[in-house]
Amino acid sequence: MKASTLNESKELPVWNNYIVLCKPKVVTLIVFTAVIGMFLSVPYMVPLKPLIFGTLGIGLAAASAAAFNHFLDRNADATMGRTKNRPLPSGQLDARQVIWFAGTLGVTSMLLLVLFVNTLTAVLTFCSLIGYALIYTVYLKHATPQNIVIGGAAGAAPPVLGWCAVTGTVHPHALLLFLIVFVWTPPHFWALAVAKQKEYSNANIPMLPVTHGADFTRLHIVFYTILLVIVTLLPYLTHMSGSFYLIGALALNSIFLYYSIVLLKTRDDRIAMKTFGFSIVYLMILFAVLLIDHYL
């Protein structure tokens, strides 16, 4: 999933720098959606073993991918105001420390998932880690303005991973959760990219606002938000959820659509950042509503 951290402060204690490497805000959202996937996979309480070890394994894998992202993006991060104070570009950690930290987290996560959860979850989690840390960060991010659309598949995996951790299978309803996060990712991240267009341009990263302009990107944000409205109705239409979810989804979608339309009509970066901020709240509340509806 692609929910980005804001400026990290300078002069952090060593342990705090390692926390920054994990992108805690991003990992929290990833773990949250994964846990919701766990609870939606069963009609009763999730067994403690997959809940505990699945959450730990998926969370550590997400933190590992985030740390690898810090390492691989260290040169670009040094050129951007939003990221220049991160541990690597600021010199508070060196590359070797970051690689060892990321590798340790990744190996630990795989061991936990293989030994205490199931092999399928471990394989899917590993593919997600590679998809974000290598395929997206190393290749897609610098190859195409559709990077966030294609690379969003890795960030959309956590609900499927959570579901699989409990049942050992990939259910069609789990894929609906994947689809929601996948379609949510472009309007979420492009709102940030619009506000930070100059920084991405200076870093020579071909984000959509850099290659096609902010106005073109704003139009695409509206398009993907409309698509998100349609996709988020699928849990209700497929009888995965009920009326409580439908009401919550419609309310959240109306607010998100309002933000995207306002963003289309203005060039104020503050609106772009508000849209970005709301998109995070939107996803968390939407998944919380799914969970509440599941147990009503």
Which domain does 60 fall in, by range?
Answer: 14-295
pLDDT in tens, 126-163: 999 999 988 888 888 888 888 888 888 888 999 999 99
Residue 7 inside a domain? The answer is no
Residue 257 inside a domain? The answer is yes
Determine the 3-state secondary structure of 144 from DSSP: coil
Tell me the C-alpha distance between 276 and 260, whole Å: 10
Tell me the C-alpha distance between 179 and 156, whole Å: 7
Structure-token pair, residue 213: 């302009």
Tell me the C-alpha distance between 25 and 157, whole Å: 17
Tell me the C-alpha distance between 255 and 278, whole Å: 9
In this structure, what is the dihedral angle of CA atoms 203, 91, 12, 131, given to the nearest 10 degrees?
50
Residue 253 inside a domain? The answer is yes
Residue 8 inside a domain? The answer is no
Give, in degrees to the nearest 5, the angle at Cα 155 between 190 and 269.
Answer: 20
pLDDT in tens, 73-127: 998 888 888 888 899 998 899 999 999 999 999 999 999 999 999 999 999 999 9
Q: Which CATH number does the domain housing residue 269 bear? A: 1.10.357.140
Task: State the total domains in the chain.
Answer: 1
Residue 122 inside a domain? The answer is yes
Confidence (pLDDT) at 262: 96
Question: Angle formed by the axes of helices 14-21 and 95-116, to 10°?
Answer: 60
pLDDT in tens, 20-77: 999 999 999 999 999 999 999 999 999 999 999 999 999 999 999 999 999 999 988 8
Residue 5 inside a domain? The answer is no
Region 249-253: what's the mean pLDDT? 98
φ/ψ region of 118 (left if φ > 0, alpha if ψ in -120 to 50, else beta) reads beta
Residue 261 inside a domain? The answer is yes
Residue 213 C-beta-side C-alpha neighbours within 13 Å: 5
Residue 4 inside a domain? The answer is no
Tell me the pTM.
0.92
